[in-house]
Chain A
Amino acid sequence: MSAQTQWQTPGEGHELEAGAFGPTPSVTGSLQEIGGRPTTYWNDAIRRIRHNKLAVAGLWIISFLLVVAVIGPMLSPYSYEQQDLNNTYQSPTLQHPFGTDQLGRDQLTRVMYGSRISLAVGIVCAALNFIIGVTYGGIAAYFGGKVDEIMMRIVDILYGIPTLIIVILLTVLFKDKGVNPLVNVFIAIGLTYWLPMARIVRGEILSLKEREFALAAKTIGAPNSRILFRHLIPNAMGAIIVTVTLEIPSAIFTEAFLSYIGLGVSAPVASWGSLASDGTEAIRSFPYLVVFPALAISLTMFAFNFLGDGLRDALDPRLRQ
């Protein structure tokens, strides 16, 4: 409502009446009723996410996977490495719902065990993204000038190098140094996957640090670290969460890819990538061996991408339509 219409509303022909000079009736109550309950950024986001069926489905799938990863292998009567050479290459049955592999190991247990590895990779990737990417991008943007120039030039150069090639190279070298293959995958992912996060956080902080609340914090003498970590970064949390959610499936993919080409976990440990790789070898005769790990990994990536897409729609105000 513009100021002009407000002035014109009381009388039709602008005639002054005695009643027009009385005290203004209190309207706060009714105004609040019209406006509905006050909402916050996060309440708003949660409401939007709930309406996005695919995102909710993604969240359910991820929760299910977490439960399976934690308790699945414990409930199984078999262990992931327990061989049964009398029952190799069994088709799916009640005893072995996903069948057994070339050494008679229960495929369901191995796929459930694989979910532990994939989710661990996802969690580690997310944590490293938070620790390295957010801090790096935040510091570059907050201090600006030469610091920003140098830090971002480094990111630009690293960006120019294809991630997967670097990851492969690092994994080859670490693996031969005798580092635990899984740790090795963590290191390789940790060293490379924080780059997009650093860029996004930098972009957010660059605009946030010009806002009044940042100035206010500075005026009352808050130290730089407090302004950055308590004021600026929490305000960039929407973009950070979206980026993390979308980085997780690509980290999970990378681990599976590395295991698939023989650089990830080594036998008898089962990862979805190595299971799919073993299954591919026997694809002509025993296709079910590759189908279940393939479904598991696709479903997981699906779920994270659905959730990430939904979160982006819910949290990123620039994309609202």
Chain B
Amino acid sequence: MLKYFIRRLLSMILVVLIVASATFFLMRFLPSGPFSREKALPAAVVKNLEARYHMDQPLWKQYLSYIGNLLHGDLGPSFKYKNRTVNSIIADGFPVSATLGAVAVALAVLIGIPLGIWGALRQNGWQDNFVMFLALLGVSVPNFIMAVLLMLVFALGLHLVPAAGWGSVKQVILPAFTLAGYPIAFIARLVRSSMLEVLRQEYITTARAKGLSERLVIFRHALRNILIPVVTVLGPLIAAVFTGSFVVEKIFAIPGLGRYYVTSINDRDYTTICGVTIFYSALLVFMNFLVDLTYAWLDPRIRYVERKVS
């Protein structure tokens, strides 16, 4: 376990370093510097700006100092906002995004799993077809379309919830459901198919033969084995929730990191794009790591003593 842990930790660091290096060099190879505006700046100003952002130094020196600062957790100043650092932007936006994301993931698990079980227990009945259709709908409708449609129906049409903004519980509902749409559908499909598989196994027959109630068979015996595949897909689903937040936060006017990210893309605020990209990558790699550890904890057969290349 410890060996596996260390190995995963090293590969995590490697991935983040690769992302950081790639973003750094891609940024420096741009033909137009970040200071090129429609109105050309005087040479002296450009020179001063370059000095402020250490762009007058040789490339390898810039790279080393960027990576060095990164290791200290310093993502550098923002190009666009003179007095802000990328760190402060992340500190402002991330708590909001994390709250929204956590609600969405919770919704996905709490709705997706029961839906999947329901479908599996009524296999090929109308309930099953309904769940599967809903799931395919959830997988197929892009999040920004879902956001717009939910807003049209529930906020602008029925006036049940506010259309946009952040701060009250009511304002969380629409964006959270939008973000949860894809994960709910994904989990429901997965749970349905694993449930069908598990129900055919012998230990379920044994449990039934013992005279256990169907409720106990499903919730005590079958459910545990269904949780494992669900946990394994949580990593990619969390990634989907985070990337979904880019547009969802923009549409619902939520001051989260996703919206800052999209704004910085449109402003060509390179250090912020770079810093937030690295932050997101590190976060997702870390989430995948956590998911893998949970996986090992849930399934005693997996202890990662020796990991073969699969």
Contact = CB atoms under 8 A, between A and B. Distances in A.
A257 B12 CA distance: 28
Interface majority SS (helix, strand, loop, mixed), chain A: helix
A123 to B, nearest CB: 19
Contact of A297 (B142, B151, B265): B142
A161 interface: yes
A257 B281 contact: no
B19 A309 contact: no
A302 interface: yes
A153 B250 CA distance: 36
B273 interface: yes
A317 interface: no
B148 interface: yes
Contacts of A298: 140-142, 145
A283 interface: yes
A305 B265 contact: no
A165 B140 contact: no
Contact of B156 (A169, A263, A284): A284
A234 B72 CA distance: 51
A257 B26 CA distance: 22
Given A165-B280, A176-B30, A283-B156, A301 B141 contact: yes
B212 interface: no
B247 interface: yes
B140 A161 contact: no
A243 B266 CA distance: 33
Which of A160, A263, A305, A309 has the most chain B CB atoms inside 10 A of its CB? A160
Contacts of B26: 169-170, 173
B31 A165 contact: no
A278 B146 CA distance: 16
Contacts of A173: 26-27, 29-30
20 contacts: A157-B11, A157-B14, A160-B11, A160-B15, A160-B288, A161-B281, A168-B265, A169-B277, A173-B29, A256-B142, A260-B144, A261-B247, A263-B265, A273-B144, A276-B144, A280-B251, A283-B152, A294-B145, A301-B140, A302-B140
A166 to B, nearest CB: 8
A162 B239 contact: yes
Contact of B265 (A149, A253, A261, A279): A261
Interface string A141-179: 000000011001000110011101100111011001110
Contact of B31 (A168, A177, A280, A297): A177
B140 A305 contact: yes
Interface in A32-53: none
A260 B265 CA distance: 12
Interface string B12-46: 10110011001100110111100000000000000
A176 B32 contact: yes
Contacts of A273: 144
Contact of A169 (B12, B152, B273): B273
Interface residues of B, number: 46
A59 to B, nearest CB: 15
A263 B262 CA distance: 10
Nearest to B147: A280
Contacts of B88: none
B284 A169 contact: no
A257 B285 CA distance: 23
Contact of A280 (B22, B142, B148): B148
A99 interface: no
Interface of B: 11-12, 14-15, 18-19, 22-23, 26-27, 29-32, 136-137, 139-142, 144-145, 148-149, 151-152, 156, 239, 242-243, 246-247, 250-251, 262, 265-266, 268, 273, 277, 280-281, 284-285, 288, 309
Contacts of B27: 173
A283 B148 contact: yes
A297 B137 CA distance: 12
A33 to B, nearest CB: 32
Given A261-B247, A287-B152, A301-B140, 12 more contacts: A169-B23, A176-B32, A177-B30, A177-B31, A260-B247, A261-B266, A273-B144, A276-B145, A283-B156, A291-B152, A298-B145, A301-B141
Contacts of B14: 157
B156 A162 contact: no
A309 to B, nearest CB: 7
A152 B309 contact: yes
A148 B285 contact: no
A272 to B, nearest CB: 9
A194 interface: no
A261 B250 contact: yes
A164 B143 CA distance: 13
Contacts of A306: 136
A160 B285 contact: yes
A192 to B, nearest CB: 12
Given A157-B11, A263-B265, A165 B243 contact: yes
Interface centre among A152, A161, A284, A287 (most CB of B within 10 A): A161
